[in-house]
Structure 1
Amino acid sequence: MIRLDKYLADMGVGTRQEVKKQIRQGRVCVNDNVVKSADLKINEELDLVSVDGNVITYTTMEYYILNKPGGVVSATEDAHDQTVVDLITDKKRKDLFPVGRLDKDTEGLLLITNDGALAHRLLSPKKHVDKIYYARVRGKVTEEDVESFRKGVNIGTAECEEWTRSGTLQILNSADVSEIRLTISEGKYHQVKRMFQAVQKEVLYLKREAMGPLYLDPDLQPGEYRSLTKEEIENVTKWNVK
């Protein structure tokens, strides 16, 4: 059971004060009856709630897979830039957030949800969640680089070393601009870019293709998103993080 004003506020109808005003104005119905009590207790599964004739279905958790485009920041709000949450235009809840961060110029898979417990499992430094990236890199990537990444590289400085865990580097094309796929199990600041800097190369383009059991939908263009399927939700919420 949940208060009517909280029910409506959670679903993005307005702030608590705004929905209380709508209730007082007689614009809200519960089971086809006009109600004017903001503290009326609602059964989220059984009661039918509407505002101005529009049914408002209560959703406890939302899960979206977004193909993040470049130029958008991984945040819930920003004073200057569009955020990844801004891109979810048909969201029902107002408490969505991105699980982890991708740099502003990085594209690819980003999970948007309000499931804090899941986010903690996927992001906790004590967990080691595999993340797969595709990148175009200035410079010829070599088998020596593959071995360096396997052993771990120092992405810090000579005075303050910061070594990465083992990563799996796959060379797709070695040329003046190489193409690679990299699997890592950490999320250090600018990690992929710093790993290549450590072997004297520069990441020109970066896209995340997978995180744990979630893979980027190839049908999603940059900026597009969709709700996770029931199977995907079960996979990610029940997934055993190593």
Structure 2
Amino acid sequence: MRLDKFLAESGIGTRKDVRTYIKDGMVKVNGKVIIKPAIDIEENRDIILYLDKVVKHIGKVYYMFHKPKGCITARRDESQKTVLDYFSKENMKGIFHVGRLDKDTEGLLLLTNDGEFEHGLMCPNKHVHKKYYFCALGSLDENDIKKLEEGVLIGKGKILTKPAKIKVEKIGTCEDFQEHMGIEKFSKKDLGLYRQPVVSGYLTISEGRKHQVKRMLKAVGCFVVYLKRVSIGNVFLDETLEKGEYRFLTDSEVQMLSMM
């Protein structure tokens, strides 16, 4: 096994982090300082030291996390709560998030210490499908749905999105979507806003552009007020997980995602 891979899978840091540690002379193999990250080691025989402490090999780990609103997708931040703040110190060693979810977006987020697994899911050529549940101010007619499914222009750069799948679930007003919209922030005296049309549904995309779902719906006149990722590929969010909770992926879930 490569030395940098061994250290990353042992919770020392990301592959990028540990390469720096190795080059800076912080790692020893059998008592000798090694500065080449790609050197092969025998993980069950060689003694690996990081800052003169023995490193134990944890192995590859894969987590499903139910991300709540209000936290950012990052390992650490000085001023804001991150997704890793929900993990125990033992379980957060060496793991990183696979892709991102906006601060105000809930739902399925994967975390791992397996760089190849992360690359396989994030590579644009893989076209991994991600499904989102949304509530948005506005309405969607057949023409809007057709545009979303065929691709819409988003942003100032006029980027054309790849074809998507959309299913309208419910049509109503702000009053009908109190659970998701936090209706208390609207004044009930403003009946025009309180009774504004709202549409909910599922949008499935195969890209990962910044704020893509929000930008796509905005392109057809809808303003997203609630967004939740419900699946990646054929793996769905475990709804028994409360917001902020996580669990190991099952072997079958890892296999399905690895085959994407």
TM range, normalised to the smaller chain?
Answer: 0.7 to 0.9
- Once residues 211 and 92 of structure 1 are traced to their aligned partners in structure 2, the CA distance between those partners, rounded to angstroms, is 22
Which sits farther off after the overlay, 174-183 or 188-197? 174-183
- Once residues 232 and 70 of structure 1 are traced to their aligned partners in structure 2, the CA distance between those partners, rounded to angstroms, is 25
Aligned to 1:22: none
Question: Aligned partner of 1:75: which letter?
Answer: A
**CA 1:2 to 1:135, structure 2 compared with 1: closer, same or farther past 3 Å?**
closer
Q: SS at the partner of 2:99?
A: coil
Shift of the alpha carbon at 1:181?
0.4
Aligned to 2:133: 134
Contact 1:69 1:223 in 2 (8 A): yes
Shift of the alpha carbon at 1:2?
10
- Once residues 124 and 2 of structure 2 are traced to their aligned partners in structure 1, the CA distance between those partners, rounded to angstroms, is 35
**Aligned residue runs from structure 1 range 218-229, under 5 A:** 218-229=239-250
Aligned to 1:119: 118
Q: CA RMSD in A?
A: 2.9
Aligned to 2:231: 210
**CA 1:214 to 1:161, structure 2 compared with 1: closer, same or farther past 3 Å?**
same
Q: SS at the partner of 2:145?
A: helix
Give 2:254's match in structure 1, choosing from 230, 233, 236: 233
Contact 1:129 1:185 in 2 (8 A): yes
- Once residues 132 and 184 of structure 1 are traced to their aligned partners in structure 2, the CA distance between those partners, rounded to angstroms, is 7
Structure 1 gaps, min length 5: 17-36, 48-55
Aligned to 1:67: 66
The structure with the largest helix share of the pair is 2
**Aligned residue runs from structure 1 range 52-201, under 5 A:** 58-89=57-88, 91-92=90-91, 94-157=93-156, 160-175=157-172, 176-201=197-222
TM-score with structure 1 setting the length: 0.74
Question: Aligned partner of 1:231: which letter?
Answer: S
- Displaced runs of 4 or more, over 6 A: 40-43
Q: SS at the partner of 2:152?
A: coil
Q: SS at the partner of 1:174?
A: strand
- Encode CA deviations 1:81-134: one digit per residue, 9 max, x unaligned: 111122121644622110000000000000010111111111112221100000
Identity, % of aligned pairs? 40
**CA 1:46 to 1:213, structure 2 compared with 1: closer, same or farther past 3 Å?**
farther
- Once residues 10 and 91 of structure 2 are traced to their aligned partners in structure 1, the CA distance between those partners, rounded to angstroms, is 8
- Once residues 211 and 247 of structure 2 are traced to their aligned partners in structure 1, the CA distance between those partners, rounded to angstroms, is 27
Question: Aligned partner of 2:98: which letter?
Answer: V
Question: Aligned partner of 1:106: which letter?
Answer: T
Size of the alignment, in residue pairs? 203
Contact 1:131 1:184 in 2 (8 A): yes
Shift of the alpha carbon at 1:62?
1.0
Contact 2:10 2:56 in 1 (8 A): no
Contact 1:59 1:92 in 2 (8 A): no
- Encode CA deviations 1:4-24: one digit per residue, 9 max, x unaligned: xx97x9357xxx9xxxxxxxx
Question: Aligned partner of 2:95: which letter?
Answer: L
- Once residues 118 and 11 of structure 1 are traced to their aligned partners in structure 2, the CA distance between those partners, rounded to angstroms, is 16
